[in-house]
Amino acid sequence: MKTTLCFAEPQGIETELLVALAADAQTEKGPDANPAPVLLTADEALKSATAAVLATGEFKAGANETLLLHAPAGVKARRLLLVGLGKQAKLTVNGVRSAAGTAVRFAKPRNLRELTFLLPVAGLPDAAVARAAVEGALVGDFDPDTYRSDRKDKSIEQLTVAASAAEKAAVEAGFAEGVVIGESQNFTRSLVNEPGNKLTPTILAQRAAAMAQEVGLGWEIHSTEKIKELKMGAFWSVAQGSEEPPALIVLRYEPEGVKEGPVLGLVGKGITFDSGGISLKPGDNMEKMKYDMAGGAAMLGAMRAIALLKPKVRVICVVCATENMPDGKAQKPGDVQTAMNGKTIEIINTDAEGRLVLADGLLYAKQLGATQLIDAATLTGACVVALGMINAGVFANDDVAYANFEQALKVSGEKFWRLPIGEEYAEMIKSDIGDIKNTGGRWGGACTAAEFLHVFAEDTPWLHLDIAGMAWVESAQPWIAKGPSGTGVRSILEWVRASA
């Protein structure tokens, strides 16, 4: 998708589809209250062209509600699409992000290849709205049907964002950021979308290296020999059951002139296919376990954005990539493994493998110099049971690190909910034969998994993102296709920027 920014008057823009936003201005409640949609623009020609239809009350301007007008009077655009933002009193930047995705997904099946998105005049920050609009449009343009033999690419070829010139410099900066972030989120989604036979750990490493070269990141790729040399027994215990060799992916961002201060460690789970190992998963929906590397992919997407947006802080990224398979060499329930720091782990369930690779990943990030840590993983079904597919889980051992993450969420628009860790959960993962065990039983599963990782983060300020319920969109929404979501990319990026 080619993206451009313009500052022309809306009524004079020649385009296949002009998209304008509307809101419900109704303040009264009750059965006799009528919706009062208002167009969020100062352009009188657009207001005149839509006055009659808005007066009917047929279009209520609900969130992501759409209404198409052909050949609107007094406007050069051939079509005018109205997209609702919901209640005017509750407008958000994230609502604009969703509306832009809704507009793109409305256009794609109608063979419209070009559209102009009109930024709203709604009291929202101009730069943030410009950024959100282009992010939402890019995310909305992604479809997962990569391998259909009869695939007809319906991507939007040209997106123009039309803005007021009042805050031109701020809008230009926000727009440029939005392009980088939207493309980085889609980079993550393209990785998560790949089937396990097309994205082995080796191929994931190759794609990470190619991206790093493209955007100017330092990178190293290691495999079995290095993992054994580093005594990453937890990581290797998962990898040993697969014919595919593992990959230890390391990316480095070193901003010019920054030699002191924090070093942020980004650690991602990169299980390119998870069968469950000897503790084999049920067959139903096992095909989705190709996305068990979504945490690692989110870190790679965030690193792409970091390299291009250049925050003034050093960042190290570690992704531990492998398959989890039930081979004759695979680890068994009851085995005891030794992590990089000498901690011994009793394996209760081989399907609790993500925390094993992350354990060594966290330790290695610290060895490489990380002074603050954040990890991301599709770690537990328990987190989905707790929060549904509405919020992802976040755990923290440090309130300052978490405060920075809360600040990041205000910009990213993603939904995370803090869940607890602590001594009571630590008691649940104590082992009779070793130091800890890799599951704490049925109850509080997301919390005991996080507490397992806390053992390896130790006192280093650390955040754990459990994105199991949010990494895959189970059914298409008006603003996003069914399939990989790219959850985490925006929030991780903003946490890095807040921490800088």
Catalytic residue positions, numbered = 281, 355
DSSP helix/strand/coil, 85: strand
**Six-digit token string for 317:** 């990224």
Angle CA(381)–CA(343)–CA(441) in degrees, nearest 5?
A: 30
With tokens 């580093």, the residue in question is: 230
How far is 184 from 160, CA to CA, in rounded Å? 19
The owner of tokens 């939207």 is: 182
Distance CA 277, CA 239 (A): 10
Helices (H), 142-285: 168-193, 201-215, 224-229, 233-239
Residue-wise DSSP of 375-412 = EEE---HHHHHHHTTT-EEEEES-HHHHHHHHHHHHHH
Please name the residue ranges forming H helices in 194-328. 201-215, 224-229, 233-239, 294-309
Q: Which helix (H) or strand (E) holds 126?
A: helix 126-141
Q: Is the Cβ–Cβ distance between 26 and 103 less than 8 Å?
A: no
User: Which residue's entry shows tokens 């109850």?
Assistant: 443
Q: At 334, list the tokens.
A: 């009851």
Rounded CA separation 311/177 (Å): 12
Residue pair 310/359 in contact by the 8 Å Cβ criterion: no
Q: Count of residues for the chain?
A: 500
Amino acid, single-letter form, for residue 193: N
- Tell me 3's DSSP state: E
Residues in a beta bridge with 396:
463
Q: Are 313 and 265 in contact (CB under 8 A)?
A: no
Is the Cα dihedral 143, 145, 146, 150 positive or negative? negative
CA dist., res. 56 & res. 35, Å (int): 10
At 443, give phi and psi (nearest 5°). -85, 135
Q: d(Cα 115, Cα 107) in Å, to the nearest integer?
A: 8
Q: Give the other-Cβ count within 10 Å of 111's Cβ.
A: 9
Q: From CA 280, how far away is CA 448, in angstroms rounded?
A: 21
Q: Return d(Cα 366, Cα 364) in angstroms, integer.
A: 5
* Encoded amino acid at 206, one letter: Q
